[in-house]
Chains A and B, each alone.
Chain A
Amino acid sequence: QVQLQESGPGLVKPSQTLSLTCTVSGASISSGSYYWSWIRQPAGKGLEWIGHMYTGGSTNYNPSLKSRATISVDTSKNQFSLKLSSVTAADTAVYYCAREEGSLWFGAWGQGTLVTVSS
């Protein structure tokens, strides 16, 4: 059974870059028709899709992030990562990594990690 686990700093200063990693266990990140996604949720609010990457190289991002997001995959470590640049307080949220099946539905999720943007 696949498991995902987010890791990274819980506190990031405004204007800096948020960096998170998702470690995948129980499955190879490079096998199957899976897309590897990031989703976030501000406290008490709904879910916002950030973007995803296929290990074949294709990516899609939410335009609302104005090109600040970059997702990459490291198949040797079975991990994928999110970088979000020029963060502000509005980027404070719980960040989830997820496995998207065939770019259709999010079938497996990490437990989520809270990132606070504050000086």
Chain B
Amino acid sequence: DIQMTQSPSSLSASVGDRVTITCRASQSISTYLNWYQQKPGKAPKLLIYAASSLQSGVPSRFSGSGSGTDFTLTISSLQPEDFATYYCQQSYSFPRTFGQGTKLEIK
């Protein structure tokens, strides 16, 4: 299985901050990398697919980059509704695997 490791596991930030979350794959996955946002008690929501493509309806302050083994999710200016847990997920091979999550909290 491909292991997905996110860092940090938790992060405190303020409204307006620029935030970057990193995801590292245990082997090269090209750009088969997706990012999801999950709020408490809710299903995950797709933000970014294929490493850098913004899902329809997702604010442009979210962006993704990377290829191979190293990927980043950046939120350019944090809004109150962005405080949530973020997961990366690889679709390069089976089984599909997710990172352990990064919990973004209000400072």
Listed in ascending order, the chain A residues whose CB lies under 8 Å from chain B are 46-49, 60-64, 96, 101, 103-107, 109-112
Contacts and interface: CB of A to CB of B under 8 A. Distances in A.
B96 A49 contact: yes
Given A96-B43, A104-B32, 4 more contacts: A46-B99, A46-B100, A62-B96, A107-B49
Q: How large is the interface on B (under 10, 10 to 19, 20 to 34, 35 or more residues)?
A: 20 to 34
27 contacts: A46-B98, A46-B99, A46-B101, A47-B44, A47-B89, A47-B101, A49-B95, A49-B97, A60-B95, A62-B94, A62-B96, A63-B95, A64-B95, A96-B44, A101-B49, A104-B32, A104-B50, A105-B34, A105-B49, A105-B89, A105-B91, A106-B34, A106-B44, A107-B46, A109-B43, A110-B43, A111-B43
Contacts of B55: 107
A-B CB proximity, top 5 nearest: A109-B43, A49-B96, A62-B95, A105-B49, A47-B98
Contacts, number: 54
Contact of B87 (A46, A64, A103, A112): A46
A85 B43 CA distance: 24
Interface of B: 32, 34, 36, 42-46, 49-50, 55, 87, 89, 91, 94-101
